[in-house]
């Protein structure tokens, strides 16, 4: 179980302009350090946080999935981020987890942001995705999920080692974003990665980025506000194991189940 090499792309997005976003992101992925294993893109990275799925949704055989498979294979990386997917006449804010082999796993956003009408346009997911990479277990979630700690709460001390959030989280509520990322790390004794966009969307809502990497004790290892950025970091598995061994708080946790 070695260390994990991960890169975050904090970027502005062209509003509801899929192909300009893919062209831009292709250049940024090419600029990522060669050692990386995972590259994380923001939520709805092809459109911004759009409430027009009828116009912009793709199927799982669509051009963005093909693009992700090509990029993952070309750079020998795992590529992840969320896009709008249509399936069985329903729309999903779907996080894709694309391996360099071409295999694709996914997570449908569980908590839909009713404040912006997301619940009217999209269907909520009903199961978590925990992926495995090089001995690491990685729980994958999307933006508003961050406000609901039960959905991220580990049911066993070693259920996962890293929690990733991809987001379009507005600047006006960035204090909550930064605070909750640290809280999820502390309460679950896990690394937390939050990747947010920057810039104004089509509704002139500003996003300040504030992407972060937080260690299992809640210490911020990386933080960037306002500007576009590409960051590479090596996460140490021993840090997770030592935190759980030195402070075995998970043994005292309440058992629970989630009813959907």
Candidates 235, 255, 222, 228; CA nearest to 36 is 235
Question: What kind and span of H or E run contains 94?
Answer: strand 90-98
Which tokens belong to 65?
């999935």
Residue with tokens 């199927």: 59
Let me know: does 45 contact 21? Beta carbons within 8 Å.
Answer: yes
Cβ burial 148-160 (10 Å sphere, 16+ → b, else e)? eeeebebeeeeeb
- Left, alpha or beta for 167 (phi > 0: left; psi -120 to 50: alpha)? beta
What are the residue numbers of the active site? 43, 109, 143
Kind and range of the H or E element at 80?
strand 78-87
Contact 134, 236 (CB under 8 A): no
201 φ, ψ to 5°? -90, -170
> For residue 144, is it left (φ>0), alpha (ψ between -120 and 50) or beta?
alpha
Q: In whole angstroms, what is the distance from residue 200 CA to residue 47 CA?
A: 12
Length in residues, the chain:
260
């Amino acid at each position: 179980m070695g260390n994990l090499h991960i890169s975050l792309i904090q970027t502005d997005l062209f509003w509801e302009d899929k192909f300009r976003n893919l062209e831009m992101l292709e250049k940024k992925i090419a600029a990522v350090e060669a050692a990386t294993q995972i590259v994380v893109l923001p939520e709805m990275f092809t459109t911004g946080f759009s409430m027009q799925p009828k116009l912009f949704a793709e199927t799982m055989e669509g051009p963005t999935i093909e693009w992700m498979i090509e990029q993952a294979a070309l750079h020998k990386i795992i590529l992840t981020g969320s896009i709008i997917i249509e399936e069985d006449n329903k729309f999903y804010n779907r996080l894709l987890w694309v391996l360099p082999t071409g295999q694709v796993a996914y997570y449908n956003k569980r908590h839909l942001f009713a404040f912006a009408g997301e619940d009217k346009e999209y269907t909520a997911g009903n199961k978590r995705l925990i992926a495995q990479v090089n001995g690491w277990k990685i729980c994958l979630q999307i933006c508003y999920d961050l406000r609901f700690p039960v959905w991220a709460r580990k049911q066993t001390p070693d259920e996962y080692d890293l929690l990733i959030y991809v987001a379009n989280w507005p600047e006006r509520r960035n204090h909550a974003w930064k605070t909750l990322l640290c809280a999820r790390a502390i309460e679950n004794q896990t690394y937390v990665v939050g990747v947010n966009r920057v810039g104004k969307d089509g509704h002139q809502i500003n996003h300040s980025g504030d992407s972060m990497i937080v260690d299992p004790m809640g210490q911020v290892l990386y933080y960037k506000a306002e500007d576009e950025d590409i960051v590479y970091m090596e996460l140490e598995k021993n840090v997770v194991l030592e935190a759980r061994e030195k402070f075995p708080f998970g043994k005292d946790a309440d058992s629970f189940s989630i009813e959907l």
